[in-house]
């Protein structure tokens, strides 16, 4: 059984977390708090390998990226362009990392939770988007970590569905039929505590998440 990680927050780190999670915080304040927290070295060491990263997290804020018609599916921060992404001119140019249009639309409009389960026989990352009328969009992925990259959770999407009452419809993207690189991504966690996580995805988006009240620390 994984034991809980003990983490002491200095008064300054506690103040930054409180400010960051305060309703109505401006984009500038959020960016400033994130920068200081990530540079502080005060979070958990090797966050992807820590039991604290597991559980359900609620998205609080994301960084914004501009739509670039040269890469309409978004651009990855490592410069790779697998599958359909390689069909667009931007894949062969040095352009800024950006999220996909679907990601931008969903994250801006709806409540999103992310559940990370790494200490199970089948490690997974699951994204759940709460839609109007009690419906939900669920995207599931096989997850993995490595001692060589102790801040990174890698994942490969393998399922997606829309659930509304007893009706369950498949997500229109056939993840299992896509090349592995096209259906894969990663999250690098830059700051992790019992209540807060700051992670950056493979398309350069910064995610600020708070631990969901119904999911206590491991």
- pLDDT tens per residue across span 101-117: 555 555 566 789 999 99
Q: What average pLDDT does the segment 76-83 reach?
A: 50
Does the global pTM surpass 0.85? no
Report d(CA 117, CA 88) in Å as an integer.
Answer: 35
At residue 94, the pLDDT reads 47
Q: How confident is the model at residue 73 (pLDDT cuts 50, 70, 90)?
A: very low
pLDDT reported for residue 134: 92
What is the rounded distance in angstroms from the CA atom of residue 178 to the CA atom of residue 201?
20
Give me the architecture of the 11-211 domain, per CATH. Beta Barrel (2.40)
Strand partners, 163: 136, 168
> Which tens digit of pLDDT belongs to each residue from 120-164?
999 999 999 999 899 999 999 999 999 999 999 999 999 999 999
Q: Angle at Cα 212 formed by Cα 52 and Cα 25, nearest 5°?
A: 105
Kindly list the distances between the CA atom of residue 149 and the CA atoms of 2, 48, 188, in Å, as whole numbers in the listed order: 20, 8, 9
- Is pLDDT at 30 greater than 60 in this prediction? yes
Between CA 14 and CA 195 the distance in angstroms is 10
């Amino acid at each position: 059984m994984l034991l809980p990680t003990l983490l002491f927050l200095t008064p300054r780190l506690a103040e930054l977390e409180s400010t960051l999670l305060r309703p109505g915080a401006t984009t500038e304040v959020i960016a400033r708090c994130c920068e200081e927290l990530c540079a502080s070295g005060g979070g958990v060491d090797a966050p992807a390998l820590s039991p604290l990263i597991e559980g359900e997290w609620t998205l609080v804020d994301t960084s914004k990226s501009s739509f670039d018609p040269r890469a309409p599916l978004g651009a990855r921060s490592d410069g790779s362009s697998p599958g359909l992404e390689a069909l667009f001119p931007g894949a062969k140019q040095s352009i800024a990392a950006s999220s996909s249009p679907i990601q931008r639309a969903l994250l801006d409009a709806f409540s999103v939770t992310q559940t990370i389960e790494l200490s199970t026989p089948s490690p997974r990352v699951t994204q759940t988007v709460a839609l109007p009328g009690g419906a939900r969009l669920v995207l599931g992925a096989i997850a993995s970590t490595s001692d060589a990259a102790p801040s990174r959770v890698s994942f490969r999407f393998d399922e997606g569905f829309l659930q509304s009452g007893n009706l369950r419809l498949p997500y229109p993207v056939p993840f299992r039929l896509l090349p592995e690189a096209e259906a894969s991504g990663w999250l690098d966690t830059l700051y992790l505590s019992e209540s807060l996580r700051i992670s950056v995805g493979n398309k350069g988006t910064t995610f600020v998440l708070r631990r969901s009240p119904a999911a206590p620390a491991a």
